[in-house]
Structures are given as structure tokens and as C-alpha cells.
Amino acid sequence: PLHSDDVASNCAKQFGIPNMTEWCPPTLQDIGQLANYYKQITLEEAYVNGWGFPNAIYIDGLDWDGTIRTGTQLLNGRKRDTDHNTDAYAYADTMVAWNVQVACGDSTGGTCGDLKTTLETRRAKHPVARWDDHAYGRQASWP
């Protein structure tokens, strides 16, 4: 059977995420949100450290307010029994903030200052969030 314990555990193993041993993401949306959970980490590191971004970034599913869903509730509303159903990362604001930083440099006055303040305030609404939810593949300290 497609949903036997052996099939699910073998599928989970293919993702290579420690302690995710029984859940096999059943939809592409589940896989996308799981990927977003880990992508938020590298995007934030690149932004905070001033490394910049590549010319193309592939993101799986934008959520409201320009965020990417990192939690376990699917964008279509399918809920899961977790504490982080609708967690999201400020993807669009991070991309715009980086471009403002490149354009404005160290300037903190006028329009540049206003934009930087606004974008950092918006980013603070949806910061990187890491937690342990082994059942759904979220690990606070991995990778």
C-alpha cells in the first residue's frame, strides 16, 4: 500500500533531515513549505552578513504580506496539530531591503532612511523562526 509505514519511513529518509522518520510530505505544497523553512535561514544569513543574493532565487509559494510560509499549515488552509502552523518569513521585504541597502549604502537620511526604517519594521513582523518539530521535518539546530 502507498501509505504503509515502510513506504512513509523510506520516503522520509530520502529527505535526509535528522529525526524526520515517519512523515513523507504528501503534497508539493508540503515539500515547498518544508524547503521554505530551511531557505529562510540562508536568505537571512546572506542579508545580515551583506553577502547579497543571486540573480535568481526559487521560492515555493508566496504567502500574504510577501512572506514565505515556513509553518506546517498549508496555504490552502489544511491545518496540522502544531504550534507553528502559519509561521512565515519576510521574503519580499528582505529582497527589497537588500536592494535599498545596495542603492543607499550607509545613508540614513531622507528617503533612504525612511525606506530602511520601514523595511526593517516590516521584516521584524516575520523574522526567521526555528523550532523543533521532528514529525514535520523542522529542526532548530540543523543544518
Report the pLDDT averaged over residues 35-48: 96
Identify the pLDDT of residue 131: 97
pTM summary value: 0.92
**Sequence-separated (6 or more) residues with CB below 8 Å from residue 12:** 20, 21, 22, 23, 24, 137
Residue-wise pLDDT tens digits, 78-100: 888 889 999 999 999 999 999 99
User: What is the C-alpha separation between 12 and 8, in angstroms, rounded?
Assistant: 6
Percent of the chain with pLDDT over 70: 98
The amino acid at residue 122 is R
H/E segment holding residue 96:
helix 91-104
CA end-to-end span of the chain, whole Å? 33
Report the pLDDT averaged over residues 41-45: 96
Percent of the chain with pLDDT over 90: 82
User: What is the C-alpha separation between 35 and 63, in angstroms, rounded?
Assistant: 14
Residue-wise pLDDT tens digits, 99-136: 999 999 999 999 999 999 999 999 999 999 999 999 99
